[in-house]
Structure 1
Amino acid sequence: MTVLWTIVGIAIFFFGLLVSIAWHELGHFATARWFGIKVPEFMVGFGKTVWSVKRGETEYGVKAIPLGGYVRMIGMLPPAPGQGRLGRSRRTGPFQGLMDDARAQSQMDVLPQDADRQFWTRAPWKRIIVMFAGPFMNLILAIGLFAGILMGIGIQAGGTQVSAVSECVLPATASAPVDDRCPAGAPLAPAAAAGMLPGDRIVSLAGREYGPNDGMELREAIRVTSGPTPIVVERNGQRLPLTVDVIENQVADFADPDRAVTAGFLGVGLLPGDYVQQSPGEVVEYIGGVVAGTAEAITQIPSRVPALFGAAFLGEERSDDSPMGVVGVSRIGGEILAQEDAPWQQDVGLFLNMLAAVNVSLFLLNLLPIPPLDGGQIVPAIWESIKRNTARAFGRPDPGPVDAAKLLPFAYVFVLVFLGFSVVVAIADIVNPVRIFG
Structure 2
Amino acid sequence: MTWLLGAVVFLLGLLLSIALHEVGHYLPARRFNVKVTQWMVGIGPTAWSTRRGETEFGIKWLPFGGYIRMVGMLPPAPGTPPGRVRRWSTGPIRSLIDGARSMIAGAREAAWEEVGPRDHGRLFYQRPWWQRVIIMSGGPAMNLLLGFVFLSIALTGIGVSTAQPVIQRVVELSPAVTAGLRPGDRIIAYGNEPVRSWTGLTAMIRADAGRPVTLTVVRDGVTTTVPLTLGRNGQTGFLGVEPAYARERMNPAEVAGVVAHTGKEVAFSVVRLPDRMAGIWQAAFSDAPRQADGPIGVVGATRLGGDVAASDLPVTDRLLFLLELLGSFNIAVGVFNLIPLLPLDGGHIGAALLEGLKRGLGRLLGRRWTRPVDVAKTIPLTSAAALVLVAMAALLAYADLVNPVHFTS
TM-score computed with the length of structure 1 as normaliser: 0.83
From 30, 36, 39, the equivalent of 1:39 is 36
The runs of 5 or more residues in structure 1 that have no matched partner are 168-188, 252-263
Tell me which residue corresponds to 2:50: 53
> Closer, same or farther in 2 for the Cα pair 1:302/1:270, shift >3 Å?
farther
Amino acid paired to 1:25: E
Confirm whether residue 155 of structure 1 aligns to residue 193 of structure 2: no
> Closer, same or farther in 2 for the Cα pair 1:344/1:422, shift >3 Å?
same
Q: How does 1:367-378 map to 2 (within 5 A)?
A: 367-378=338-349
Amino acid paired to 1:161: I
Tell me which residue corresponds to 1:400: 371
Deviations 1:241-272 (A, max 9, x none): 65322378777xxxxxxxxxxxx622436345
Tell me which residue corresponds to 1:383: 354
Tell me which residue corresponds to 1:244: 228
Please report the RMSD computed on the Cα atoms of aligned residues, expressed in angstroms. Answer: 2.9
Amino acid paired to 2:7: I
Amino acid paired to 1:126: Q
Deviations 1:222-253 (A, max 9, x none): 356573122367899999965322378777xx
Distance 1:313 1:101 in 2: 38
CA contact (8 A) 1:215 1:270 kept: no
Distance 1:325 1:286 in 2: 22
Q: How does 1:79-228 map to 2 (within 5 A)?
A: 79-84=76-81, 87-90=83-86, 93=97, 94-159=99-164, 160-163=166-169, 165=171, 190-191=175-176, 194=179, 201-206=185-190, 214-223=197-206, 227-228=211-212
Distance 2:309 2:397 in 1: 22
SS of the aligned residue for 1:316 comes to coil
Confirm whether residue 433 of structure 1 aligns to residue 404 of structure 2: yes
Count of aligned pairs between the two proteins: 398
CA contact (8 A) 2:170 2:181 kept: no
Deviation of 1:432 after TM superposition, in Å, equals 1.1
Tell me which residue corresponds to 1:10: 7
Confirm whether residue 64 of structure 1 aligns to residue 61 of structure 2: yes
Tell me which residue corresponds to 2:94: none
Identical-pair percentage: 35
Deviations 1:2-27 (A, max 9, x none): xx111001101111110000000001
Distance 1:269 1:297 in 2: 38
Distance 1:205 1:101 in 2: 73
Tell me which residue corresponds to 1:353: 324
CA contact (8 A) 1:194 1:244 kept: yes
Distance 1:87 1:309 in 2: 40
Confirm whether residue 289 of structure 1 aligns to residue 261 of structure 2: yes
Deviation of 1:311 after TM superposition, in Å, equals 1.2
SS of the aligned residue for 2:36 comes to coil
Amino acid paired to 2:167: Q
Amino acid paired to 2:68: V
CA contact (8 A) 1:142 1:359 kept: yes
Single out whichever of 122-131 and 300-309 deviates more from structure 2: 300-309
Tell me which residue corresponds to 1:363: 334
Deviations 1:191-227 (A, max 9, x none): 4765768x5745354467989x942343244356573
Distance 1:41 1:415 in 2: 20
Distance 1:304 1:207 in 2: 44
Deviations 1:279-308 (A, max 9, x none): 233222222221212222222221122221
Amino acid paired to 1:127: R
Confirm whether residue 417 of structure 1 aligns to residue 388 of structure 2: yes
Distance 2:87 2:32 in 1: 33
Distance 1:333 1:43 in 2: 24
CA contact (8 A) 2:85 2:105 kept: yes
> Closer, same or farther in 2 for the Cα pair 1:205/1:393, shift >3 Å?
closer
CA contact (8 A) 1:21 1:68 kept: yes
Single out whichever of 41-50 and 399-408 deviates more from structure 2: 399-408
CA contact (8 A) 1:47 1:65 kept: yes
SS of the aligned residue for 1:95 comes to helix
CA contact (8 A) 1:83 1:90 kept: no
